[in-house]
Structure 1
Amino acid sequence: MISEIQRNFAKLSQAMGFQRSPSSKQKVKPISKENNDENGGDHSINARTTSNPPDSDTSDASYNSWMVEHPSALDSFDRMIKAAKGKKIAVFLDYDGTLSPIVDDPNRAFMSDEMRAAVREVAKYFPTAIVSGRSREKVKEFVELSNVYYAGSHGMDIQAPPRPVKACEGKYHTLVPGKKGNEVLFQPAKKFLPAIQEIIKELEEETKKIQGARIEDNRFCISVHFRQVREEDYSVLQEKVKAVLRNYPDFDLSEGKK
């Protein structure tokens, strides 16, 4: 049983671009040579970023330094399972740059069939959640799996796998009938949806003359992409976004990296 779980984690790791070499030293093959930014964007408002290993042409010192900070769980799998004895293990995965490559067009950040199969197998053994700044619907459309949890808008829109439940408790929970069972949604920010749509309209109007700027509606949060914006326009775009949000004190601005 343990060896089968380990094999499935190895498949997931390999699909992500982390591959073992014949030697005992693990080689890392980045899924993308570009910076790993949430939503496949440039610099996203309300975005979270994760780390990618250094490019394959960097020095061994850089590689070793990265591996110290980001060790492979597979190298300590037995110890990890032993420490988890009597506990429930859950797996949380980002989407952009983890399950899919980083691309210039966020709408084309497709995951491979190999990756999908690996995630499906891991989810058979552990509760598995895919967490993203994207809208839940968009991530679900990309992943196409029914046995995982989807957490869109950085956790403001969560959907559990279909299950035979007839009712759910909680102020922000909603029960949605489905073909394979009822789906439970957790959406604590519903009251902000009208304001979010207002902000999107204002941002689109204020940024329409900035070439390369792109506003993405993630339902419960908004991303402003500027990967394709000219460097001299960065500060202009940033100020326009901040100016819009000054009228909405209930909303926060978080900044990612290009």
Structure 2
Amino acid sequence: MVATSIDPLFHRAVLFDMDGVLTNTARLHSAAWKGLFDQYLAERSPTPSEDHRPFTDDDYRHHVDGKSRVDGVLDFLHSRGIGLPRGDVGDEAGEETAHGLGKLKDEHFRRVLDEQGAEVFADAVSLVESLHQHHVATAVISASRNCSRVLEQAGIGHLFGVRVDGVVAAELELPGKPDPALFLEAARRLGVPPARAAVVEDAEAGVAAARAGGFALVLGLDRAGLPRRLADAGADVVVSSLDEVTIAAPGQRRLSEIPDGLVHWNEISSRLRGRRPVLLLDFDGTLAPIRKDPAQVSLSVRTRAAVQELVQRCPVAVISGRDLSDVRGRVRVEGVWCAGSHGFELAGPGDDPIAQEAGEAALPALDVAEQRLSAELAPVAGALVDRKRFALAAHYRNVSPADVDRVVSAARQICSELPGLRVTHGRKVVELLPDIDWNKGRALRWLLERAGLTGPDLAPVFAGDDYTDEDALREVHEDGLGIVVLSVEHGDRLTWAHCSVDGADRLIELLSRIAPPPGAP
């Protein structure tokens, strides 16, 4: 059975259809289509080959819903044995062409919209806001040219960084659903590949389009009590309300549910019994406290000495988003393996660096992004653009809350316009990275294999503090131990960690229990 959940560590974006999913405007569209077609069929001269019965709800679902207005006109009339020319965009409203009748339908719709307004579905808004809390991007998709008008009336336009509607489709000459072009354009603008995005749709044509586009999860929303139609169209799972959708993956828990590793030591230690630990540690916020200026972050004398002692007892590695040379210079502990740039670079104790070749191709795009983002954020007080070899970070820790959206939006916009990049989020930072299947979890496993630190007698232990560390926590979830270092900035997000500690000092105390000195009980 397919779980009704969105995994924020895998699904980097969710694309929402508007009518019927976000707003109750599907009924307004249905009424507008019915008004158009009932009048047209009643006034058309009857012939034996044509069916002039009134427009029905089934007609709306099967022939019109989710499609462009021109395709909707043609598909419905074809089902009734009526053929009309397509016409062109210059046709007058009411002219006997698909474009002419489509414009007349729009007039019906705008009139009904102005009279009745756009009702918002609370379950949709709740889900979108929850996705944002988990740093999952959102876009709105609609075949309608009235999308922006509906969103404005509904007061939810601010929830979506990207909108691809009938106006955009006309400008770019994109085919309508069931062709996946609208969804693919939205994913491109978000900088997220379809294989890492989900789609929420209530129309058969929209479900078919998302399935054809290769999206990771196609979620059918059936508010009408007819779930079979969406399943048959290709939905992975069908729900009757978005309240049924959770943002989690099996094995994740809230930070508030994670036990303290020192308080619950007996329970935690059982995961490692009989195996030698391999310590894999994040740097900023884990071994060293977060600072307003990243350049001021350093290990305390006490922590450096403790890590040096740990190296004498078991293998130790530091995996950081900083450049490799930067993190090695700040750690300065002999015998430690280091991985920088979220694992795109790796070096053993005294070894020359090894870079992931796949990330090299993104370097020119990162160069351009650095120039553009620096210029875009220059007027934003407190914004800091930090270029690393394989990443570009925009820090907003010192930015006014009113300007945070500007920082994030600028990074997303630049990412969408440059090939080979993707966006990721951390604590008060948004980053552009090479768009390849690589993260701290993959880097962790690569490091273990490269260092020869795999096998049933070894237990990987990862400690991190940030959302970007969750890939590594997930990687060790089954065969190792995950530790999250808590901070007041975390809120109560989901995590793959098995246990928690409060700060670097408590982490060192826990690690000393995990890798005790020889002869210790």
Q: TM-score, normalised by structure 1?
A: 0.60
Give the letter aligned to residue 187 of structure 1. Answer: Q
Find 2:344's aligned residue among 141, 156, 159: 156
1:134 aligns with 2:134: no
Describe how 1:159-198 pairs up with structure 2 within 5 A: 159-162=347-350, 182-188=351-357, 189-198=359-368
Contact 1:135 1:217 in 2 (8 A): no
Contact 2:283 2:318 in 1 (8 A): yes
The number of residue pairs the alignment matches comes to: 174
Matched residue, 1:216 = 386
CA gap 1:244/1:128 in 2 versus in 1, 3 angstroms: same
Find 2:307's aligned residue among 111, 115, 119: 119
CA distance in 2, matches of 1:231, 1:83: 43
CA distance in 2, matches of 1:217, 1:146: 27
Give the letter aligned to residue 318 of structure 2. Answer: I
Secondary structure class of the residue paired with 1:254: strand
- Following superposition, the deviation at residue 84 of structure 1 comes to 4.3
CA gap 1:213/1:67 in 2 versus in 1, 3 angstroms: closer
- Following superposition, the deviation at residue 222 of structure 1 comes to 1.4
Matched residue, 1:205 = 375
CA distance in 2, matches of 1:81, 1:148: 26
Give the letter aligned to residue 238 of structure 1. Answer: V
CA gap 1:83/1:230 in 2 versus in 1, 3 angstroms: closer
Describe how 1:69-108 pairs up with structure 2 within 5 A: 69-72=258-261, 76=265, 80=269, 83-85=272-274, 87-108=275-296
Secondary structure class of the residue paired with 1:99: coil
Matched residue, 2:54 = none
CA distance in 2, matches of 1:221, 1:75: 38
Find 1:252's aligned residue among 422, 429, 440: 422
CA distance in 2, matches of 1:95, 1:70: 22
CA distance in 2, matches of 1:66, 1:238: 25
1:237 aligns with 2:425: no
CA gap 1:204/1:76 in 2 versus in 1, 3 angstroms: same
Q: Which moved more, 1:245-254 or 1:100-109?
A: 245-254
Secondary structure class of the residue paired with 2:269: helix
Secondary structure class of the residue paired with 1:255: strand
1:109 aligns with 2:297: yes
- Following superposition, the deviation at residue 187 of structure 1 comes to 2.8
CA gap 1:113/1:257 in 2 versus in 1, 3 angstroms: closer
RMSD: 2.5
Matched residue, 1:33 = none
- Following superposition, the deviation at residue 204 of structure 1 comes to 0.6
CA distance in 2, matches of 1:82, 1:209: 51
Contact 1:93 1:130 in 2 (8 A): yes
Describe how 1:26-41 pairs up with structure 2 within 5 A: none
Secondary structure class of the residue paired with 2:299: coil
CA gap 1:208/1:184 in 2 versus in 1, 3 angstroms: closer
- Following superposition, the deviation at residue 214 of structure 1 comes to 0.7
- Following superposition, the deviation at residue 207 of structure 1 comes to 1.1
CA distance in 2, matches of 1:237, 1:204: 10
- Following superposition, the deviation at residue 245 of structure 1 comes to 0.8
Q: TM-score, normalised by structure 2?
A: 0.31
CA gap 1:126/1:77 in 2 versus in 1, 3 angstroms: farther
CA distance in 1, matches of 2:389, 2:259: 32
- Following superposition, the deviation at residue 77 of structure 1 comes to 6.5
Q: Which moved more, 1:240-249 or 1:71-80?
A: 71-80
- Following superposition, the deviation at residue 74 of structure 1 comes to 8.2
1:145 aligns with 2:333: yes
Secondary structure class of the residue paired with 2:277: coil
CA distance in 2, matches of 1:129, 1:252: 26
Where does the alignment leave 5 or more consecutive residues of structure 1 unmatched? 1-64, 163-181
CA distance in 2, matches of 1:96, 1:82: 26
Contact 1:160 1:185 in 2 (8 A): no
Contact 2:394 2:407 in 1 (8 A): no
CA distance in 1, matches of 2:327, 2:259: 25
CA gap 1:157/1:239 in 2 versus in 1, 3 angstroms: same
CA gap 1:123/1:70 in 2 versus in 1, 3 angstroms: farther
Q: C-alpha deviations, 1:83-109, integer Å up to 9, x for none?
A: 442x44210111111211111111011
Contact 1:73 1:80 in 2 (8 A): no
Q: C-alpha deviations, 1:118-150, integer Å up to 9, x for none?
A: 111111222111111111111111111231111
Matched residue, 1:26 = none
CA distance in 1, matches of 2:268, 2:320: 29
Give the letter aligned to residue 204 of structure 1. Answer: S
- Following superposition, the deviation at residue 248 of structure 1 comes to 2.0
CA distance in 2, matches of 1:127, 1:74: 25
Give the letter aligned to residue 112 of structure 1. Answer: S
Point out the structure with max Rg over C-alpha.
2
- Following superposition, the deviation at residue 200 of structure 1 comes to 0.9
